[in-house]
Amino acid sequence: MSRFTPVRPGTVTPALAAPQSPSRRRTFLQAGGTLLLSVLLPQTAHAARILAVRVWPAEDYTRVTLENDSELKTTHFMVKNPDRLVVDIEGLELNATLKELVAKIQSNDPYIRQVRVGQNKPTVVRLVFDLKEEVNPQVFTLQPVGNYKHRLVFDLYPVNPPDPLAALIEKSSQDKPTTIASLPPATNPASGTSSAPSSTPVEKPEIKAPAKTEEKVRVAEKSDTPAEKSKDKFAHGRTITIAIDPGHGGEDPGALGKNGSREKDVVLAIAKRLKKKFEQIDNVRVMLTRDADYFVPLNVRVEKARAVQADLFMSVHADAFVNSAARGSSVFALSEKGASSTAARWLADKENAADLIGGINIKNHDKQLASVLLDLSTTAQINDSLKLGKIVLNELGGINTLHKQAVEQAGFAVLKAPDIPSILIETAFISNPEEEARLNDGAYQDQIAESVVRGVKKYFAKNPPLAKNRFA
Instruction: Confirm if 235 and 284 have CB atoms less than 8 A apart.
Output: yes
Q: How far is CA 106 from CA 64, 83, 141, 238, in A?
A: 12, 18, 24, 41
Instruction: Please say if the pLDDT value at position 399 is more than 90.
Output: yes
Mean per-residue pLDDT over the chain, rounded: 79
Q: What is the pLDDT of residue 436?
A: 97
Q: Which of 91-105, 192-206, 274-288, 345-359 is the least confident region?
A: 192-206
The whole-angstrom separation of Cα 301 and Cα 417 is: 10
Average of pLDDT values for 67-80?
95
* Number of Cα atoms under 13 Å in the Cβ half of residue 249: 26
Q: Which residue has the higher pLDDT, 62 or 5?
A: 62
List the end-to-end C-alpha distance of the chain, in Å, as a whole number: 88
Which amino acid, residue 218? Answer: R
Instruction: Please say if the pLDDT value at position 4 is more than 70.
Output: no
Nearest to 195 by CA among 179, 211, 212: 179
* pTM assigned to the model: 0.76
Q: What is the pLDDT of residue 243?
A: 98
Q: What is the pLDDT of residue 467?
A: 62
Residue 239, C-beta contacts closer than 8 angstroms, at least 6 positions apart: 201, 283, 284, 285, 470, 472
Q: What is the pLDDT of residue 401?
A: 95
Q: What is the pLDDT of residue 164?
A: 86
Nearest to 170 by CA among 198, 151, 150, 190: 198
Residue 286: phi and psi, rounded to 5, are -130, 135
Q: Is 284 helix (H, G, I), strand (E, B) or coil?
A: strand
The whole-angstrom separation of Cα 130 and Cα 85 is: 7
pLDDT 10s digits, 93-117:
899 999 999 999 999 999 999 999 9
CA-based torsion, 410, 411, 412, 417: positive or negative: positive
The whole-angstrom separation of Cα 431 and Cα 320 is: 5
Buried residues in 419-458 as b, exposed as e (16+ CB within 10 A): bbbbbbbbbbbbbbeebbebbbeeebbbbbbbbbbbbbbb
Q: What is the pLDDT of residue 349?
A: 85
Q: What is the pLDDT of residue 2?
A: 45
Q: Are strands 112-121 and 135-142 parallel, antiparallel or unpaired?
A: unpaired
Instruction: Band the pLDDT of 387: cuts 50, 70, 90.
Output: very high
Q: What is the pLDDT of residue 237?
A: 67
Nearest to 249 by CA among 293, 279, 201: 293
Instruction: Please say if the pLDDT value at position 144 is more than 50.
Output: yes
Instruction: Confirm if 288 and 171 have CB atoms less than 8 A apart.
Output: no
Instruction: Please say if the pLDDT value at position 50 is more than 90.
Output: yes
The whole-angstrom separation of Cα 193 and Cα 181 is: 10
Q: What single string gives the DSSP state of each residue in 306-359?
A: HHTT-SEEEEEEEE--SSTT---BEEEEE-SS--SSHHHHHHHHHHHTHHHHH-
The whole-angstrom separation of Cα 308 and Cα 460 is: 19
Q: Which of 53-62, 77-86, 196-205, 414-423 is the least confident region?
A: 196-205
Instruction: Please say if the pLDDT value at position 341 is more than 90.
Output: no
Q: What is the pLDDT of residue 446?
A: 97
Instruction: Band the pLDDT of 137: cuts 50, 70, 90.
Output: very high
Q: What is the pLDDT of residue 204?
A: 36
Instruction: Band the pLDDT of 376: cuts 50, 70, 90.
Output: low
Torsion of Cα atoms, 98 then 95 then 47 then 121, to 10° = -90
Q: How far is CA 127 from CA 13, 99, 251, 387, 405, in A?
A: 65, 10, 21, 52, 54
pLDDT 10s digits, 224-269:
333 333 344 454 668 899 999 999 999 999 999 999 999 999 999 9
Q: Which residue has the higher pLDDT, 212 or 151?
A: 151
Q: What is the pLDDT of residue 181?
A: 29
The whole-angstrom separation of Cα 424 and Cα 385 is: 10
Identify the DSSP state of 187.
-
